[in-house]
Amino acid sequence: MTSLERPLILAIDLGTTACKVALVTPQGRIVAHVREADATPTRFLPGGGAEQDPADWWDVVTRLVRRVLGEMPGARSRVAAVAVSAHWSGTVAVDREGRPLRPAIIWMDTRGAPYVRAITGGFPGVEGYRLDRLFWWIRLTGGIPTHSGKDPIAHILYLKHREPQVYRAAYKFLEPKDYLNLRLTGKFASDYATIVLHWLTDNRDIRRVAYHPRLLRMAGIAREKLPGLYPPTHVLGPLLPGPAEAMGLPAGVPVVMGAPDVQAPALGSGAVRDYEPHIYIGTSSWLTCHVPFKKTDLFHNMASLPAAVPARYFVANEQETAGASLTFLRDAFFYGRDALGDCPAPDDAYARMDALARRAPTGARGLLFLPWLYGERTPVEDPHVRGGLLGLSLGMGRAEVARAVLEGVALNLRWLLKYVEAFAGRRFEAIRFIGGGARSAVWSQILADVLDRPIAQVEEPDLAGVRGVALLASLSLGLLRLEDVARHVPVKAVYHPDPAHRKVYDEKFRAFLDAYRRLKGWYRRWSP
């Protein structure tokens, strides 16, 4: 078979702000890709609202698919499957024809928090959860609806109580990935891994996940308003003529189930064997691995949940603002458009900030950045906590601030590392690093020094999502074996801990934890 005849996977990765589309071989080699930053604006609303327009999602996806096909002559006829990943923990209310009834509620939205507390709280309780309900939720799902209100169950309850006309009119409530699949195939469907954060499924048998009547009853959500469920490797159906024409593809191409933006990069990291860890730094961050067991750590907001890797769980956790901290620094302080001037960020803004951070000494002269700009989920669930810079002095400048931000995110991950290793029951050795943050050599070395672990920077780390969902498509079509995934995901460089920096970061980590303990009460009193 010549290279012009070999099959390709069309992989779509819709992020919270950016969108990427790639043509990927069944073995995970990316042969062409395009991206668009700031493609899907978020509207922040009073009371904790965060919404996006699904029409924006479809527009950018179709536009980028046409672009990537245009960059590779002959690719159109070689596409063997379409696979979608998208930001997780969102809700699109659609009618019977699949039309959105309102803007999509995304993972940042907290307006459903009071309604989650109403269905989960009561006496006697622990950590704010009524004991009998805690028992059933953890026994069946492995977790429980978070009090932050950022899960789809909270979004649906918000609509039920605050927008009852939308709730009544909704035929189905869909995750963003499943909405895009609906546009592609006409199928109202989800999979075992994507549906988890609705907290309405029995996950005890990883091969037969299903909605549970008791959970539906406790939540007060109608089963008929939820999509059918399939394994992550399910082939959903053929691409419909309308969307095929919009994207410039032949109708009938298989559309696979795909995976959300946590599970897909897990495959794309190459860390697919049990207990092999990876770190992701994008808008948010996580540190996870696959495990062969179902388990819950209620006190640190972690659980093993169904993964996109067939018949496996992964350790679910998330830290809210990682790369978003750097974006905030870029837009609010380094570049911006306001009364002080018009200074739009250049295309190489992050590279320039990286160069600044490199100039500052290890420890950023004692400047401590707290990265909790939108609350925190793990290892503490605290929607009130906020970010800050502690220890500013007149002798500091932008270099120290840039480095402090990178170190602050790394310190937050060190906080998480302790509990993920305890959850897995073992110490991790080399940790793979993916996401946009992994393009930075400075950040990679800071992570190695702060975590005291070798950091393996994956090649093309910011494309782990499209690579991962393409590899999942290959597994779905029988074009690849799971045990072969790791050898097809190359490592660009390995960064080893520098013993000379150990003392500085040990002291800074103690200061980091002390800052949270001392300030958490103040944040609770004063945060909006």
Say if residue 438 is in the same domain as residue 491. Answer: yes
Closest by CA to 10, choosing from 434, 480, 478, 474, is 474
Query: How many angstroms separate the Cα of 230 from the Cα of each of 159, 177, 184, 356?
Result: 26, 14, 17, 48
Does 203 map to a domain?
A: yes
The last residue of one of the domains, among 230, 259, 288, is 259
Q: Are residues 120 and 246 both part of a single domain?
A: yes
Q: Count the domains in the chain.
A: 2
**pLDDT at residue 3 above 90?**
no
- Name which of 36, 31, 17, 25 is nearest 83 in CA terms: 25
Range of the domain at 310: 262-528
Same domain, 251 and 276: no
Specify if 1 maps to a domain: no
Would you say residue 189 has pLDDT above 90?
yes
Please report, for the domain that includes residue 193, its CATH number: 3.30.420.40
| pLDDT tens figures, 272-303 | 999 999 999 988 999 999 999 999 998 898 99
The pLDDT tens digits for 336-386 are 888 888 888 898 999 999 999 999 999 999 999 999 998 998 999 898 899
User: What 3-state DSSP class applies to 200?
Assistant: coil
Question: So what's the pLDDT on residue 5?
Answer: 66
Same domain, yes or no: 272 and 255: no
- Classify 163 as helix, strand or coil: coil
Average pLDDT over residues 255-267: 95
End-of-domain residue from the set 240, 259, 278: 259
Please identify, among 211, 230, 259, the residue that sits at the C-terminal boundary of a domain: 259
Confidence bin at 4 (pLDDT 50/70/90): low
pTM given for the model: 0.90
Do 269 and 255 lie in one domain? The reply is no
Residue 414 pLDDT exceeds 60: yes
CA 7 to chain centre: 28
Q: What is the 3-state secondary structure (H, E, C) of 414-431?
A: HHHHHHHHHHHCCCCCCE
Q: Identify whether residues 228 and 275 lie together within a single domain.
A: no
Average pLDDT along the chain? 95
